Amino acid sequence: MGVVTDRRTVLRAGLAMLGGAAGTVAAGCSPGRSHGPTGPAASGSTATVGGTPTLGPAQSWDAFAGRLAGQLVRPTDSDYDRARALFDPAFDTVRPQGIAYAANPADVAEAVRFAQATGVGLAARCGGHSYAGYSTSDGLVIDVTRMNQVSVAGNGIATVGGGTRLIKLYTDLAGAGRSMGGGSCPTVGIAGLTLGGGIGVLGRLYGLTCDQLTGADVVLASGERLNVDENHDADLFWALRGGGGGNVGIVTAFRFATRPTRSLTLFSVRWPWSAAADVITTWQQWITGKLGVMPDTLWSTVVAGSVPGGSAPTLRISGVFAGDRAGLNGPLADLRAALRSVTPVSASIVDHDYLTAMRLEGGCSASGDICGSTAGISAGARRPGQKAASAILLTPIAPAGVDVLARQVEERQRDPLAKASGGIILDSWGGAISRVSPSDTAFVHRNAIASVQYFASYPAGAPAENVQAAHGWVRDTAAAAAPYVSDQAYQNYIDPDLANWAQAYYGANLPRLTAVKRHYDPDNLFRFAQSIPS
């Protein structure tokens, strides 16, 4: 039996091998470009002396700290470096003036009012996994991770604190015998994931994470707190389901429909690289039902990744079947029959309970607490980085496009500056995701059959040339693949280099999103380089 490899493991593959100084900043990746130091015009309580804003007593940072039930961390505090860090070290250069750990929704409202009154820029932060660093700011970071309680009511509706990380969510739900579909990375935050859609191993069965949302508590730019659902502020509720994190308010709690837990079967088949074109083309036929019935209970992914120091890239089809392994036999036989001329390198099929499966999919051990820790996220700590871009597939990539992608992965394999893995990840969509109309929620990509992600990692402390090589490869690969994929991109794989990003993320839903934004955030308090235009 081989080891099932998931997206996160692959994204991190090859990252453990090199050392060096931490915090190398990727060119074009600094969020300093995207977060202005000031927010909208100050409301009168901020004076400017010699160009430097001075705060009146009521609006001083100290007074603000005193009004919080939670904690305000400032640059002189000993835990400042840890407090300001995001998941990716590329954003370690950003030095917020304060990080407010909100203990409750009133703290979030207080922080929003402070930002309004002082004009200091703000960013909401949950799991801190924004690819572009949009959850930090050189002004105020409003961190919601202390609001991470999960409870399940008798009707199966889970109330989930707005700062809950996925592994805690899955663990707490499983403890109540319940489950839901989310993403794979254990430290990703429920807020960013849900607000941008949320794809994961149960997506074809239960829909996007945002499709399972039944309501939310939101703090608006005015500091007002709303409880929204289909019948209350329905436009805002619509925007929260796919309109992207950080755009229209700060969510302090989510309510999700959950399902009883069920066993999940994890499978993985590794193929020889020489068969890459055949395997990728056949996988596309398989997931679109051309080889036989493709049940909603089956999600799968193809990962084609370079191996630093290796002789050839690796190629894997893996996935999750919601049920025991007997149900997987038919679909797997269809795949194997279509690829009968190719001998797999290895294969594994293992069934697990829901929580164990979600842990393994997230790259965690089957049990234990290593996933619950966020200790690895610390500015200055030596940790790897990555660059990624994405596209949505509305139809299968034509054979010529598949060849282009395979050649790109080979180029990354040959690049002496590639010190960590790079490659492509194709995830199957469809099923329940496609049964929601593109206009029913803000998430427009309902007709997708799959997504493709181009990623390149670099080791902790990698020199600039390695970082640039990773960025250059992703940029070149996205450009080379463009003729073969749609012009849509997944808003949760947010890409600061994407030119036509608003259309790519939101398409026909952009006008309605813009109207919602204008209504609920008329002064454009919640803004960053790729926030909804107002």
Q: Which residues bind ligand FAD (CB under 6 A)?
A: 7-8, 11, 87, 123-131, 134-135, 144, 162, 183-185, 188-189, 191-193, 195-196, 198-200, 245-246, 250-251, 492
Distance, in Å, from the CA atom of 94 to the CA atom of 86, rounded to the nearest integer, reads 10
Q: Please give the full DSSP string across 379-391, using - where no structure is assigned.
A: TTS---EEEEEEE
Give the residue with the Cβ less far from ligand FAD, 172 or 334: 172
- How many of the other CB atoms lie within 10 Å of CB of 464? 12
Q: Cα 111 to the chain's mean position, in Å?
A: 25
Q: Nearest distance from residue 202's CB to ligand FAD, in Å?
A: 11
Give the residue with the Cβ less far from ligand FAD, 191 or 360: 191
Length of the chain: 534
Q: Please give the full DSSP string across 266-293, using - where no structure is assigned.
A: EEEEEE-GGGHHHHHHHHHHHHTTSSS-
Q: Nearest distance from residue 11's CB to ligand FAD, in Å?
A: 5
Distance, in Å, from the CA atom of 160 to the CA atom of 256, rounded to the nearest integer, reads 8
Are the C-beta atoms of residues 287 and 300 closer than 8 Å to each other?
yes
Give the residue with the Cβ less far from ligand FAD, 273 or 299: 299
Are the C-beta atoms of residues 502 and 487 closer than 8 Å to each other?
no
* Type of residue found at 129: H
Q: Nearest distance from residue 449's CB to ligand FAD, in Å?
A: 16
β-pairing verdict for 140-143 and 98-101: parallel
Distance, in Å, from the CA atom of 150 to the CA atom of 26, rounded to the nearest integer, reads 37
Give the residue with the Cβ less far from ligand FAD, 291 or 432: 432
Give the residue with the Cβ less far from ligand FAD, 129 or 352: 129
CA within 13 Å, CB half, 76: 2
Are the C-beta atoms of residues 137 and 35 closer than 8 Å to each other?
yes
Give the residue with the Cβ less far from ligand FAD, 109 or 193: 193
Give the residue with the Cβ less far from ligand FAD, 100 or 195: 195
Q: Nearest distance from residue 358's CB to ligand FAD, in Å?
A: 11
Q: Nearest distance from residue 50's CB to ligand FAD, in Å?
A: 32
* Type of residue found at 268: S
Give the residue with the Cβ less far from ligand FAD, 187 or 356: 187
Give the residue with the Cβ less far from ligand FAD, 87 or 283: 87
Give the residue with the Cβ less far from ligand FAD, 182 or 344: 182
Query: What is the C-alpha radius of gyration for the chain, rounded to an integer number of angstroms?
Result: 23
Give the residue with the Cβ less far from ligand FAD, 14 or 246: 246
Q: Nearest distance from residue 186's CB to ligand FAD, in Å?
A: 9
* Both structure tokens of 49: 């002396």
Q: Nearest distance from residue 506's CB to ligand FAD, in Å?
A: 14
Closest alpha carbon to 390 in 510, 288, 276, 481: 481
329 Cβ contact list (under 8 Å, min separation 6) = none
Q: Nearest distance from residue 332's CB to ligand FAD, in Å?
A: 23
Q: Furthest-apart CA pair in the chain: how many Å?
A: 76
Distance, in Å, from the CA atom of 434 to the CA atom of 214, rounded to the nearest integer, reads 19
125 phi/psi in degrees, rounded to 5: -135, 135
Closest alpha carbon to 247 in 472, 507, 508, 505: 505
Q: Nearest distance from residue 251's CB to ligand FAD, in Å?
A: 4
Are the C-beta atoms of residues 229 and 220 closer than 8 Å to each other?
no
Q: What share of the chain is helix, strand, coil (3-state, %, to 5)?
A: 30, 20, 45
Q: Nearest distance from residue 200's CB to ligand FAD, in Å?
A: 5
Q: Nearest distance from residue 484's CB to ligand FAD, in Å?
A: 22
